[in-house]
Amino acid sequence: MTVVNFNNISGINSITAESNTLNFYDSAGGTLSIGASVSGNVVGNVTGNLTGNVNAGVVTASSSIVVGQSFIQNNAIGLGATDTTGRNAGVGTATGTIIYNSTNGLVEVYASSGWTSIGDQSRTIKATGGTITFTPTTTVHTFTSSGTFTVISSPSNPSTNSINYLLVGAGGGGGGTFAGPGAGSGGGGAGAIQYAQAYPVSLGNYEVVVGGGGGSATATNGTNGTPSWFGIVGLSSITSNGGGGGGRDRLPAAGLPGGCGGGSGWGQDTGVVAGGTATGDPSPSPGTVDQISPSNGWGNDGGPNGGDSGSGAGGGGGSGASGTTGPNGNYSGGPGGNGLAFTISGSTVTYAGGGGAGAYNGPGSATPGTGGSGGGGNGGPTSAPGRGQDGSSNTGGGGGGGTRVSSTANQGGSGGSGIVIIAYPS
C-alpha cells in the first residue's frame, strides 16, 4: 500500500503512479523535482544530481560511475590525470589518495611521508625531465633544450638500473660569400652523434645540455655548433661535439673542424683545399639503425673544393658520410654527407646530415648542393638573396653554404640545434 500525504506542500497539482513510477506535476503539467531525504532502499533508475550525504550499503550501477575525469567501470578504474603543479595545488593530502601524474608518467599515492610512486620498483627506474612519451615497451625523455634528467627511483636489481641515450651535437653554420668575385661557400658540418645502450645511472640529477646551432656568416666562415652533453657536473659527462663551420668562398677557404667537418669554399684557382676534419670516427655502416657508437661519437670530414676555376665548394660532413666536392666545370656546390637513423624515440628518425655547398649563378647551369639526410640545409639558391638554408632544428644538421648572386655578399645558413634522448624500459 502506498500512502501520499500532501501536508500543504505548495506547487504540486497532481500525482500519478504508473508502472511503479511516481511522478509529481505542477499546474502547467511540468514534472517537478523533489528535494527530500530518503531512508531505506532506492530501487530503479536515478537521473540527475545527488547532493548531500549518501549513506548506502551497496551502490549498484549497470554501466559506470563517473566523477570528473575519474571513473569506475565493471572492468576498469580510471584515475584521471593531473600534473605535479595540479597535484600540489588542488588534490589534497588525505592518506591513501591515488592519482596519475602526467609530469612524470607515474601513478602516485599520498602517505604520511608525502607522495610516492606505485609500481614494481625492482624492474625499472623512474625519472623526470624533458618531454616524456611512452612506447609499448619504453619510457622516453626527449630534451630539445637544456634541462635536468632526475632519477627519482631506482630498481633493486643493478642490472636493470640503466638507460639508453642518444646525444646529437649542434650543426655548424654554412660559409658566406664575398661581394665581387667568388663561386660558392662550403656547407656546415653536422654535429657528432653519441649512442649507447645499458648505461648505468643512480638516484640523483644529471645535467642535460642541448647544443645551439652555429651562426650564419657573410664574407667569412660559418661558426661551429656547440656540443650537446649529458652527465654529472664535475664528475663525468658524455659529449657530442658541434659541427664545423663551412668555409668562405675565398682563401683561406678551408672548412672548420668539428664533430663533423665543414666543407671548403671556392679557393680562387690555387689548388684543392681540404674540408674540415671530424673529431668523431667515421660510421662503419652508414644508415644502420641503433648501432653503438665509439667513445668519441660518429662524425665525418667536410668535402674539399675542386681546386680550379670551374670547380665548386664542398658539402659539410654528416654523421653517416663525408661531404662531397662540387663537380668541376660549372661551379656547382657539393652535397652534404648523410646522417644516421635511430629508433630510440619509438620511430625511426635520421639525425646529423651535413649542409650542402653554395654555388655561382654565372654562365652555365650551376646548382647548389643538397643537404644530407638528417636535417642538413641546402646550399643557397642561384637567385637573390642566395642565402644558404638553415639546418633543421633538433637534428644537428649543418647549414647550407651561401651562393654568389651577382656581386652581392650572401650568407650561409645557420646550423640546426642538437637533441638529447634518453630511454629505459617501462
Q: What per-residue confidence (pLDDT) applies to 47? A: 65
Rounded Cα–Cα distance for residues 87 and 119 (Å): 19
**224-230: average pLDDT:** 97
pLDDT in tens, 142-173: 999 999 999 998 766 555 689 999 999 999 99
9, pLDDT greater than 60: no
Instruction: Considering only residues 344 and 232, tell me which one the structure prediction assigns the higher pLDDT.
Output: 344
69 shares its domain with 154: no
Does 252 sit behind a cis peptide bond, omega within 30 degrees of 0 on the bond before it?
yes
Query: 159 φ, ψ to 5°?
Result: -65, -20
211, pLDDT greater than 80: yes
Task: Tell me which residue of 156, 98, 164 sits closest to 124, measured CA to CA.
Answer: 156
193 shares its domain with 79: no
178 shares its domain with 277: yes
Domain-located, residue 159 = yes
Average pLDDT, the chain: 84
Domain-located, residue 225 = yes
Domain-located, residue 294 = yes
**288-313: average pLDDT:** 88
Does 363 sit behind a cis peptide bond, omega within 30 degrees of 0 on the bond before it?
no
Pick left, alpha or beta for residue 279 (phi over 0 → left; psi -120 to 50 → alpha; otherwise beta): alpha
Rounded Cα–Cα distance for residues 212 and 400 (Å): 16
Rounded Cα–Cα distance for residues 228 and 222 (Å): 19
141 shares its domain with 86: no
Cβ 377 vs Cβ 393: under 8 Å: no
Q: Report how many domains make up the chain.
A: 2
Q: Which of 8-17, 129-138, 272-281, 300-309 has the weakest average pLDDT?
A: 8-17
DSSP state of 374: T
**402-409: average pLDDT:** 84
Cβ 336 vs Cβ 315: under 8 Å: yes
Place of cell 627506474: 125
Q: Which domain-ending residue is among 118, 141, 163?
A: 118
Task: Tell me which residue of 413, 300, 273, 419 sits closest to 355, measured CA to CA.
Answer: 413
Domain-located, residue 312 = yes
**192-220: average pLDDT:** 94
pLDDT in tens, 333-364: 999 999 999 999 999 999 999 999 999 887 66
Instruction: Considering only residues 336 and 328, tell me which one the structure prediction assigns the higher pLDDT.
Output: 336
75, pLDDT greater than 60: yes
Side by side, which strands form the sheet with 114-117?
A: 98-101, 106-111, 114-117
Q: What per-residue confidence (pLDDT) applies to 153? A: 84
113 shares its domain with 128: no
pLDDT in tens, 375-387: 999 999 988 889 9
Q: Which of 47-61, 195-209, 246-260, 278-292 has the weakest average pLDDT?
A: 47-61
Rounded Cα–Cα distance for residues 230 and 407 (Å): 45
Cβ 138 vs Cβ 105: under 8 Å: no
* Burial classification of residue 204, based on how many CB atoms lie within 10 Å of its CB (0-12 exposed, 13-18 middle, 19 or more buried): exposed
Q: What per-residue confidence (pLDDT) applies to 97? A: 81
Domain that holds residue 356: 121-426
Question: Would you say the C-alpha torsion 125, 131, 133, 137 has a positive or negative sign?
Answer: negative
Q: Are strands 131-134 and 147-153 parallel, antiparallel or unpaired?
A: unpaired
Rounded Cα–Cα distance for residues 316 and 331 (Å): 17
308 shares its domain with 320: yes
DSSP state of 405: B
Domain-located, residue 16 = no
pLDDT in tens, 247-272: 998 888 999 999 999 999 988 777 89
Task: Tell me which residue of 186, 126, 179, 197 sits closest to 334, measured CA to CA.
Answer: 186
274 shares its domain with 147: yes
82 shares its domain with 186: no
Q: What per-residue confidence (pLDDT) applies to 81? A: 77
Q: What per-residue confidence (pLDDT) applies to 310? A: 74
78 shares its domain with 213: no
Rounded Cα–Cα distance for residues 38 and 24 (Å): 16
3, pLDDT greater than 50: no
103 shares its domain with 229: no
Q: How many residues does the chain have?
A: 426
Instruction: Considering only residues 136 and 46, tell me which one the structure prediction assigns the higher pLDDT.
Output: 136
Joined grid coordinates for residue 19 = 508502472
Encode 138-159: b = buried (16+ Cβ within 10 Å), e = exposed. bbbbbbeeebebebeebbeeee
Q: What per-residue confidence (pLDDT) applies to 1? A: 38
The CA-atom distances, in angstroms, between 280 and each of 136, 198, 242, 356, 415 are 33, 21, 10, 20, 18
Q: What per-residue confidence (pLDDT) applies to 330? A: 80
Q: What per-residue confidence (pLDDT) applies to 10? A: 58
Rounded Cα–Cα distance for residues 220 and 245 (Å): 10
Q: Which domain-ending residue is among 87, 118, 149?
A: 118
Domain-located, residue 33 = no
Half-sphere exposure in the Cβ direction for 20 (13 Å, CA): 4
Q: pLDDT class for 329, splitting at 50, 70, 90?
A: confident
188 shares its domain with 312: yes
Q: What per-residue confidence (pLDDT) applies to 2? A: 46
Half-sphere exposure in the Cβ direction for 395 (13 Å, CA): 33
126 shares its domain with 113: no
DSSP state of 85: H
Q: pTM of the entire structure?
A: 0.75
Strand ranges (E), 26-146? 64-67, 70-73, 77-78, 98-101, 106-111, 114-117, 126-128, 131-134, 138-143
Domain-located, residue 113 = yes
Strand ranges (E), 8-137? 14-18, 21-25, 64-67, 70-73, 77-78, 98-101, 106-111, 114-117, 126-128, 131-134
pLDDT in tens, 103-147: 766 777 776 556 666 655 456 788 999 999 998 889 999 999 999
Q: What per-residue confidence (pLDDT) applies to 385? A: 87
Place of cell 641503433: 290
**9-20: average pLDDT:** 56
Domain-located, residue 11 = no
